[in-house]
Amino acid sequence: MSTVFSKIIAREIPADIVYEDELVLAFRDIAPSAPTHILIIPKHEIATANDVTIEDEAALGRLFTAAAKIAAEEGIAADGYRLIVNCNAHGGQEVFHLHMHLVGGRPLGPMLARK
Ligand code: AMP
């Protein structure tokens, strides 16, 4: 089942795209949690982190190299940032096309609320 991210890849709906190559696409989150909040996605649909296979390793590795490049371009590399991949209900995943959140531009606080 295709998600809104497939429509962004196909340019069927608009997005503020900041990076693209043959394996991944990156665009600004529509509801940013920090001054920089960018989503980096593989161009082929992988529903969740549970669904990754060995064939996905090149694209999944590229998420990290793209993140490092984008963080440098955004001017947040030295201060630091957070990379997040949510999975399924307990992870709070809303869009079932695996994506890496690149979040930064301010101190982000503890990684998880302690409940
Ligand atoms: P997650 O909870 O990890 O599945 O995150 C999904 C993210 O996608 C959320 O941060 C949303 O704000 C973001 N999002 C949903 N639709 C769009 C869209 N059309 N363009 C950009 N970001 C979106």
**Catalytic-residue membership of 99:** yes
91: domain CATH number is 3.30.428.10
Interval 33-55 mean pLDDT:
98
**109 assigned to some structural domain:** no
**pLDDT value, residue 114:** 74
Which atom of ligand 1 lies closest to the CA of 86? 3
With 90 as the cut, is the pLDDT of residue 93 above it?
yes
Residue with tokens 């190299």: 65
- The tally of domains found in the chain comes to 1
Smallest CA-to-CA distance from 81 within 64, 98, 95, 93 is with 64
Position 114 in a domain: no
Residue-wise pLDDT for 101-115, tens only, equals 999 999 999 988 777
Would the pLDDT of 1 be above 70? no
Range of the domain at 46: 4-104
Is the confidence at residue 74, as pLDDT, over 80? yes
Centre of ligand 1 to C-alpha 63, Å, is 16
pLDDT of residue 113: 78
Residue 33 CB less than 6 A away from ligand 1: no
- Confirm whether pTM is higher than 0.85: yes
